[in-house]
């Protein structure tokens, strides 16, 4: 008998994970078996990436456990996970900003110089906001910031 699934592969895993309790850990092999793939292949990784994107919309999240598989993140860990993504975003933005900052403006056409100036000015403001926001997020995570209505 041939193995088939009628839903997109990611949907099959999302449906299962939505039923699992927070803290549930599954191996790569267990997850791959749900969708008839070999674990740790590029196809499997692509499916798991989509799974996590879709799970977030359902209020669940998977976290990779090195050498094991995935863990259903507990609600209290969501702030930590969000901060991790924020740090990555700021790091990527810092690289983007450095590219603008060190661009060979003198060799650009007049049109490119004009566009560079506008983008650089806006990027400077955005970078300051991102770095300030990241500092606030870190303080919030460690309860070093006052939340209106009291920290709980």
Above 70 in pLDDT, residue 5? Answer: no
What does each C-alpha distance from 146 to 19, 41, 82, 133 come to in angstroms?
36, 46, 19, 15
Mean pLDDT taken over the chain:
89
Task: Please state, in angstroms and rounded to a whole number, the distance separating the CA atoms of residues 105 and 116.
Answer: 8
Question: What residues contact 136, with CB distance under 8 A and at least 6 apart?
Answer: 145
Q: Are 69 and 57 in contact (CB under 8 A)?
A: no
pLDDT value of position 30: 97
pLDDT value of position 145: 58
Burial letters for 36-45: b for 16+ Cβ neighbours within 10 Å, e otherwise?
ebeeeeeebe
Tokens representing 124? 């400077």
Q: 32 pLDDT band (50/70/90 cuts)?
A: very high
The pLDDT tens digits for 48-62 are 999 999 999 999 999
Above 90 in pLDDT, residue 149? Answer: no
pLDDT value of position 6: 64
Residue 6 DSSP label: S
Range of 26-30, 76-80, 86-90, 147-151 with top mean pLDDT: 26-30
Q: 133 pLDDT band (50/70/90 cuts)?
A: confident
Tokens representing 126? 């955005």
The pLDDT tens digits for 79-130 are 999 989 988 988 999 999 999 999 999 999 999 999 999 999 999 999 888 8
| Residue 9 main-chain phi, psi, to 5 deg | -55, -45
CATH of domain 9-73: 1.10.10
Q: How many residues does the chain have?
A: 152
Task: Please state, in angstroms and rounded to a whole number, the distance separating the CA atoms of residues 87 and 138.
Answer: 10
* Residue whose entry in the numeric block shows the structure tokens 């740790």: 40
pLDDT more than 70, % of the chain: 89
Domain boundaries, the chain: 9-73, 77-141
């Amino acid at each position: 008998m041939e193995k088939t699934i009628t839903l997109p592969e990611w949907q099959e895993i999302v449906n299962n994970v939505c039923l699992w309790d927070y803290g549930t850990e599954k191996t790569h092999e267990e997850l791959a078996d749900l969708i008839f793939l070999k674990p740790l292949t590029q196809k499997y990784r692509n499916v798991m990436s989509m799974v996590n994107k879709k799970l977030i919309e359902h209020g669940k999240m998977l976290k990779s456990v090195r050498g094991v598989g995935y863990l259903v993140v507990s609600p209290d860990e969501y702030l930590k996970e969000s901060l991790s993504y924020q740090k990555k975003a700021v790091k990527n933005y810092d690289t983007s900003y450095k590219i603008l900052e060190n661009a060979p403006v003198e060799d650009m056409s007049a049109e490119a110089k004009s566009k560079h100036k506008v983008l650089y000015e806006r990027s400077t403001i955005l970078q300051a906001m991102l770095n300030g926001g990241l500092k606030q997020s870190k303080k919030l995570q460690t309860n070093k910031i006052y939340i209106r209505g009291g920290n709980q």
